[in-house]
Amino acid sequence: MSAGAQIVDSRNRWEWIGLLLVLAMGLGARLLNITYSLDGDEIFSSNLVAHSFTETLWLAFLDSPHPPLHNILLHAWTLLFGHGEFALRSLSLLFSIGFLVVAYALMRRVLPVWLALGCTALLAFNPLLVFYGQQARPYALIAFFAAWNIERFLSVLEAPEDRRRQLHWALSGLLLMYVQYMGALVVGAGMLTVWFYRSPAWRGVTVLGVLTGLAMLAWMVAAAWYEQARQDVVFGGFAWIGPPDINTFVWFFVALFGEFDALQVRWLMLALLIILGAYAVKLLRKRRLPAEHAYLVLLALLVPLAAFALSVAGPRSIFVPRQLIGSGIAFTALLGLGLNAMPRALGAVLLSALLAWVIYAFPNDGRDMTRQPWREIFAELARAHEGVPMLAQEPWIFQPMGRYQPQGTPIKLVDALGVADVKAPFLFVCRPLRCWLMDEPQRASRATLVFSRSLAQHPDEPSKFTDVRAYLVRPEPR
């Protein structure tokens, strides 16, 4: 019986109940604090899709790391529901819950019910997926389409002559690539698998994979033209992210379960190594790696390794955890295979330990440091310094400033020279990374720190990337 038929079979009511409980918990995790202030990237998306459809499509080039599908869907969504915090994020919320449904169907293709439910629960509380499952950005769509594409490819391996399954795989791959350029790695992993195993599906998968790539090429050509005209990087990497090191690579897998400092990461790593070791031992005994298992290994381990190598050797980094969500899903399935290779009691204990870890970690995960309470920050500054203009030097500050500052407060985005030219008193709002302007000799004597907000988990370890400061700068004496 296929995975889809097993899900809807009325005899499996306990399976239904278990899945509904997992979905309810996943929904609750994603609804937690969902109306916190939009960050700069989300406000960028909100502003972008506030235009007409034609203008939104054109402006989608400005969202340089991502193709246009998310912005198109968000444009239609906001026409119906508006631009409030919950309205903007509810599209991602919908896709994130849909992702859990598809992920369960994926797990059932390779795992028994109890492990499929357990691995889906891991994804339900996965801090990376919970955080980005809320944001009004493309990442919930990436998770949904990546899981759908993986599930469809596993179905192709089950019935390689079924053309309809191949078409579904190609459609999901095309949609994935239209929300994420790196979706091509997920699609390419499927093509490599059928070639290596000489599957009867190899011709159909190859033709459809090539056609999918050509369909994506239309947008990439337009993006390349825009890149040349604007002298900007559209799909060549993430210019603001430096090359990764080996610790970054290892931490990608650890971060799938949470980065809370109070937890001893070495115990998590030990559990993961035991599970993967059990799977490796089973393979050595059988001396055979099934095609569906090889595909998951390729996605879970080799795709991140390829992204890591390209980031180290290439001109720009593409090793970004939120862009490797497909690999995170496959890694969770691979852990399920490892747990299934153990005695059931031991597998149940280790699965319970992993679930306890993610449930404890997700509300305290380090990504919460980016959830600045912008509404409260700018309201407090406006109350304390009514009518004083606010300046920022970077969009990360200026975008929330534009949305949340009280009406009537002048705001301005300036460069370093612009800050030097301002003569009237003003508030300069910055991250420590950018506050060096206030330390310059000609300005230090006139700048007074009047506000500081830290979201660091340890007060003695502030973050130069996410902390916020405000300086009141007096004009130069004549």
Residue 8 Rama label (left phi>0; alpha psi -120 to 50; beta): alpha
Q: Is 468 helix (H, G, I), strand (E, B) or coil?
A: strand
Q: How far is CA 177 from the centre of its chain?
A: 15
Q: How many angstroms separate the Cα of 66 from the Cα of each of 403, 410, 449?
A: 23, 32, 38
pLDDT band at 219, cuts 50/70/90? confident
CA distance 154 to 147: 11
**Rounded CA gap, 417 and 409, in Å?**
22
Tens of pLDDT, residue by residue over 9-38, are: 555 788 889 999 999 999 999 998 899 999
237 Rama class: left (phi>0) / alpha (psi -120 to 50) / beta: left
- The size of the chain, in residues, is 478
Sequence-separated (6 or more) residues with CB below 8 Å from residue 110: 154, 292, 293, 296, 333, 336, 337
Residue 473 backbone dihedrals phi, psi, to 5 degrees: -110, 120
pLDDT at residue 232 greater than cutoff 60 = no
Q: What percent of the chain has pLDDT over 70?
A: 85
User: Both tokens of residue 421?
Assistant: 């030219």
Provide, for the chain, the percentages of residues in helix, strand and coil under a 3-state DSSP scheme, each rounded to the nearest 5. 65, 5, 30
Kindly write down the DSSP assignment for every residue of 198-249, as one continuous string.
T-TTHHHHHHHHHHHHHHHHHHHHHHHHHHHHHT--SSS--TTSPPP-HHHH
Q: Read out DSSP for 322-383?
A: GG-HHHHHHHHHHHHHHHHTS-HHHHHHHHHHHHHHHHHHGGG-GGGGG---HHHHHHHHHH
pLDDT in tens, 292-312: 999 999 999 999 999 999 888
Structural contact between residues 97 and 20, judged by C-beta atoms closer than 8 angstroms:
no
Task: Between 261 and 363, name the one with better pLDDT.
Answer: 363
Instruction: Write out the H or E segment, with its range, that includes residue 14.
Output: helix 13-31
Best mean pLDDT range from 55-69, 222-236, 328-342: 328-342
Distances 107 to 145, 155, 271, 335, 409 between C-alpha atoms, Å = 15, 12, 20, 11, 53
Report the C-alpha dihedral over residues 359, 361, 363, 369, rounded to 10 degrees: -160
Give 398-465 as a DSSP string: HHHHHHHSPTT--EEE--HHHHHH--S-EEEEE-TTTGGGGGSHHHHTTEEEEEEE---SSTTS--TT
Cβ within 8 Å of residue 176, ≥6 positions away: 142, 145, 146, 148, 149, 183, 186, 187, 326
Q: What is the pLDDT of residues 342-391, one digit of tens each?
A: 999 999 999 999 999 998 887 766 555 567 789 999 989 988 888 888 88
A 10 A CB-CB count for 389 gives 15
Task: List the 411-413 sheet strands across, edge first.
Answer: 411-413, 390-392, 426-430, 468-473, 447-453
Half-sphere exposure of 226 (CA within 13 A, CB side): 19
In order of 94, 96, 452, the CA distances from 19 in angstroms are 16, 15, 44
- Which has the closest alpha carbon to 93: 149, 34, 43? 34
Question: For residues 370 and 465, what is the distance between their CA atoms, to the nearest angstrom?
Answer: 9
How large is the average pLDDT for residues 301-326?
A: 89
Comparing 103 with 411, the larger pLDDT belongs to 103
